[in-house]
Chain A
Amino acid sequence: MALVTLLCRCGGYFVFSRISPSPRLRMALAHMPGCIFAAYVVPALLTGPAHNWAGAAATLAAMAIFRNLGLSIAAGVAATWIASLA
């Protein structure tokens, strides 16, 4: 895992310093981060416990408002906790 991740970090830089991706490739790749996260999050929410949805909503709201990762995670966990008690 370490090797692959290291290769991602360094290899990507190395490759892009040598080649110039076409504008279309660049645009396609620009979708990647959001799509990866979406692909991970959606199934996780669907297969997880119901109280996670409350957490998801709280996390999104907190992040949209405060733009603070730590705070948003805390808000999400708190909301999940409260929902799990209901």
Chain B
Amino acid sequence: MTTTIVFTGAALRRGMWRALPLVAGLSPFGFVTGLITERHGLTLLDCMLMNGLVYAGASQLVALANWTHPAPILAAAFAAFVVNMRFALMGPALAPWLAGLSVGKRYAALSILVDHPWALSVTDMRKGGRDVALFVGLSIPLWFGWLISTTVGFLCASTLDLPPHHPLFFGALAAFIALLVPLWRGLSDALPWAVAGIIAILVAQILPHTSWYIVAGALSGCLAGALRDGRRG
């Protein structure tokens, strides 16, 4: 390693400051997630634990979409795995910075990894930044902000008593749709994504009320993309 990674108070504070708009941006999603959690019959404690420990809204919503009582442990774990698989690839991308933390702190930092702080950190790293405190500063307020907004959403759910197809619930879906935009790398993504979508529809028809359609769609799309890449290269 030619560059030494540092951890400065200045970068920590800068990260925390830059996290504030992220918190504001993510709060509606958090609010809706808390709302939806309540509508599915989970308790306040369930909600706070889920959001504090899982801390991955997208996967939580997928799991909740097919929630049963008692909790569907296998299905939920599967949803968590498929949707959060991207974290397994995001962590390594940040490896140069994480190497600058002691092992314990490194895995603690990884445990609250989410998209936006990661993206901002990778960008900074590519520009030559060497301060891992930025990542930590960005991540911590976002975790707190998420916990607060989901709890508030949960508590507001019964007072608001919204009908199932209320536009506010679209907020959750909107988050996914919006995240597709930065993921788009160009027209070459059209084929894998289309395959993913079509297979997902088909599998959802064959196996309703389960989350298998996501795995099936995702794997098919990846396969289609890989096959096409193979033929080109």
Contact = CB atoms under 8 A, between A and B. Distances in A.
Nearest to B214: A39
B98 interface: yes
A48 B95 contact: no
B217 A39 contact: yes
Interface residues of B, number: 88
B170 A52 contact: yes
Interface residues of A, number: 61
Contact of B177 (A11, A15, A51, A59): A59
B196 A76 contact: no
A53 B219 CA distance: 25
Q: State the main secondary structure of chain B at its contact with A.
A: helix
Contacts, number: 251
Given A1-B59, A8-B80, A13-B110, A39 B167 contact: no
Given A32-B85, A36-B214, A59-B174, A10 B28 contact: no
Interface of B: 21-22, 24-29, 49-50, 53-56, 58-60, 62-63, 76-92, 95, 98, 107, 110-111, 113, 116, 165, 167-168, 170-171, 173-185, 189, 192-201, 204, 213-223, 225-226, 229-230
Quick one: which of B53, B59, B173 has the most chain A CB within 10 A?
B173
Interface in A1-27: 1-6, 8-13, 15-17, 24, 27
Contact of A41 (B50, B54, B180): B180
